[in-house]
Amino acid sequence: MRRVLPALLLLLLAACSSEGVNPIVGAAVSELNPLGGGEADAQPAQAGQAVTRAAIQRADVAMIRIRLVGEDTGAFMQAASDNGGHVTYASSLRQLVTLRGARITGTRGLGHDLLSVTSSQPDPLMRPIPPGQWPSRVTRNYEFPAWAPRGRVESFECRFEFGAPSEIVIIEQRHQGVEISEYCTGPTGEFENLYFADLRTGFVWRSIQWLGHKQGHLDMQVVLPYTGRRG
């Protein structure tokens, strides 16, 4: 069962400063997570040290890898908390991404925050659905910061378009799936999301999701999926 690291990551986030990560805390993270901490989030392994699937499996911590579209470097993030199915991932640079299933429902520290995302049901991102059973449309509501108690909410009607089966590799692990485009339109504009979903289960291993007009898109790969709390 892929676990969360709430205590360690809270310590890590608290230890961050404008100069980077406290070296003692960074060493503790490196001991548990061979992907490293601090600036290693942008450069995940030390020179000559490859990030391997075996090292990830030994760490046994739910993990994603993110990159803002248009930027050259990204970050590895580990599951830090599970709040009723909303799992928040954190990097040592105080970046936070919250997921409900494969759907990004909030971000912090990436540039322009996303407060929340809700969708009509069934939503194949919230719970995996085999690709042949995906609904034809969903409605997505995005909440952004604003001078209002609830923030600024923008709604979009989205439709899915299925591509050809293909294969991707995420840190030495191959996945067979299908590419799916999601075209969303609303009063404030339009955008496209992209998903790579498992051919059999519909689990989304990789996605490029829109985070807002200012933030743009986030490329996210599931390195080690979160499967629930360790009992």
Sign of CA dihedral 57, 59, 64, 69: negative
Spatial separation of the C-alpha atoms in residues 196 and 217, rounded to whole Å: 15
How many alpha carbons fall within 13 Å on the CB side of residue 109?
A: 16
Query: What is the pLDDT, as a whole number, of residue 73?
Result: 87
Helix segments in the chain, DSSP class H = 6-15, 23-32, 53-59
Residue 3 domain-assigned?
no
Domain span holding position 80: 62-224
Query: What is the pLDDT, as a whole number, of residue 92?
Result: 80
Question: Token pair of 220, please?
Answer: 């996210």
Residue 15 domain-assigned?
no
Residues 106, 31 contacting (CB under 8 angstroms)? no
Per DSSP bridges, beta strands 75-83 and 63-68 are antiparallel
Structural domain total, the chain? 1
* SS3 of residue 40 by DSSP: helix
Bond into 131 cis (ω within 30) = no
Residue 4 domain-assigned?
no
Spatial separation of the C-alpha atoms in residues 67 and 31, rounded to whole Å: 25
Residues 37, 29 contacting (CB under 8 angstroms)? yes
Residues 98, 105 contacting (CB under 8 angstroms)? yes
Bond into 44 cis (ω within 30) = no
Residue 104 CB coordination number (10 Å): 21
pTM of the shown model:
0.80
Residue 176 domain-assigned?
yes
Residue 161 domain-assigned?
yes
CATH number at residue 71: 2.40.360.10
Residue 31 domain-assigned?
no
Q: Which residue has the tokens 């001078």?
A: 147
Residues 110, 102 contacting (CB under 8 angstroms)? no
Question: Token pair of 216, please?
Answer: 């743009």
Residue 168 domain-assigned?
yes
The two most distant CA atoms of the chain are separated, in Å, by 51
Question: Token pair of 194, please?
Answer: 């992209």
Blockwise average pLDDT, block size 10, the chain, 231 residues:
50 40 38 40 48 87 95 91 95 93 97 96 97 96 88 96 95 96 98 97 98 97 86 45
Residue 126 domain-assigned?
yes
